[in-house]
Amino acid sequence: MNQQVQPNEEPQKTIVVASKLTKVFRDFFYRLRFPAVQGLDLEIRKGDVFGLLGPNGSGKTTTIKILLGLISATSGSCSILGRSPRDVAVKARIGFLPEESYFHRFLSAEETLNFYGSLFGLRGALLRDKTHALLKSVGLENDKTRLLKTYSKGMTRRVGIAQSLIGDPELLIFDEPTSGLDPIGMDEVKELLLKLKAEGKTILIASHMLSDVQDVCDRVAILFKGKKLLDGKVRELRTRKTGVRVELPGVSGKDDENLAKALNVLRENGVEDIDVVERETSLMDVFLDVIKNQKTSSGV
């Protein structure tokens, strides 16, 4: 009885469903030879930021290609936005960032987006406004007239994300959005993903960089050799119930007097197993700090 849905509690709309999805690639002789995805079940609901995670070759891109209707599954079924992936009408409702974006290097970001916008039937002021708004939202408004060949990888990735957004899609599919980026480019893309998430977009992110997407995704599925090993809410998967970590950034070191007093209180209350570790700044923190300071002092 307690599983009854309350009348005012609208069930969350399902955007992607896959059931026992399987893809076995054929060899030269048309024999089914290479299993890339094996019996994959997925469910992505409206507003989810869903991470399809796994090492290289685990079947992420193959899954995406099936969902986009670019290749067909060997067996199993899937639907996207309530339709078959083969349905042409559904494609206009999806924004896709491929693993590698191939843009014309001798066009500016503005011209590139104008071109893709025109493919969606946008013209005149409407097209201009849309391009402007997207370039602003991905933080490229000051560089919009520069040719893409002068862009960094992170900037190019952001053009790709802007391009995927041009048709106001209901679902975004990003394949390896942070791969090949340096820490700054990665941060820029991550921030953009968080912004899209805050806007309530439904996003499927495929990535082999687990640490990159753990702050962004609500739910993940972990693939390995085409099989799903695990799925669930990131918050729950990351909850380790085997201990508690307390950080004390104001405490100078292990021999701090107040720390000793606090530890004694714990010991007096029966907490014996205490591990005190001095926090070290990672090289990455130092690197990002130095660059951030440089940016602020030079007004960039």
Ligand X SMILES: Nc1ncnc2c1ncn2[C@@H]1O[C@H](COP(=O)(O)OP(=O)(O)O)[C@@H](O)[C@H]1O
Closer by beta carbon to ligand X, 57 or else 98: 57
- Looking at 52-60, 114-122, 139-147, 254-262, which segment touches ligand X (CB under 6 A)? 52-60
Using CB under 5 A, which of the segments 1-9, 58-66, 71-79, 180-188 binds Mg ion?
A: 58-66
Binding to ligand X in span 57-96, by CB under 6 A:
57-62
Q: Which is nearer to Mg ion, 131 or 178 (CB)?
A: 178
- Amino acid identity, residue 39? G
| Token pair in block for residue 104 | 């014309």
Q: Which residue of 51, 54, 85, 169 would you call a contact of ligand X, by CB under 6 A?
A: 54
Q: Show contacts with ligand X in window 126-155 (CB under 6 A).
A: none
CA distances from 143 to 150, 193, 222, 234 (A): 10, 20, 37, 36
What kind and span of H or E run contains 21?
strand 14-26
Angle subtended by helix axes 183-198 and 283-297, to nearest 10: 80
Report DSSP letters for 107-139, one per residue: SBHHHHHHHHHHHTT--HHHHHHHHHHHHHHTT
Report the sign of the C-alpha dihedral through residues 100, 232, 189, 124, in that order: positive
- Binding ligand X (rule: CB under 6 A), the pick from 2, 4, 56, 281 is 56
Residue type, 176: E
Closest residue by Cα to residue 52 from 101, 102, 99: 99
| Partner whose binding site includes residue 36, from Mg ion, ligand X, none (CB under 5 to 8 Å by kind) | ligand X
Token couple for 68: 């986009």
Query: Whose Cβ is closer to ligand X: residue 36's or residue 113's?
Result: 36
Q: Of 45-53, 57-65, 195-203, 221-229, which segment contacts Mg ion by CB under 5 A?
A: 57-65
**Residue 38 sits in the site that holds ligand X (CB under 6 A):** no
Candidate residues 58, 61, 163, 179; the one interacting with Mg ion per rule CB under 5 A: 61
* Beta carbon of residue 194, minimum distance to ligand X (angstroms, whole number): 23
Binding region for ligand X (CB under 6 A)? 25, 34, 36, 54, 56-62
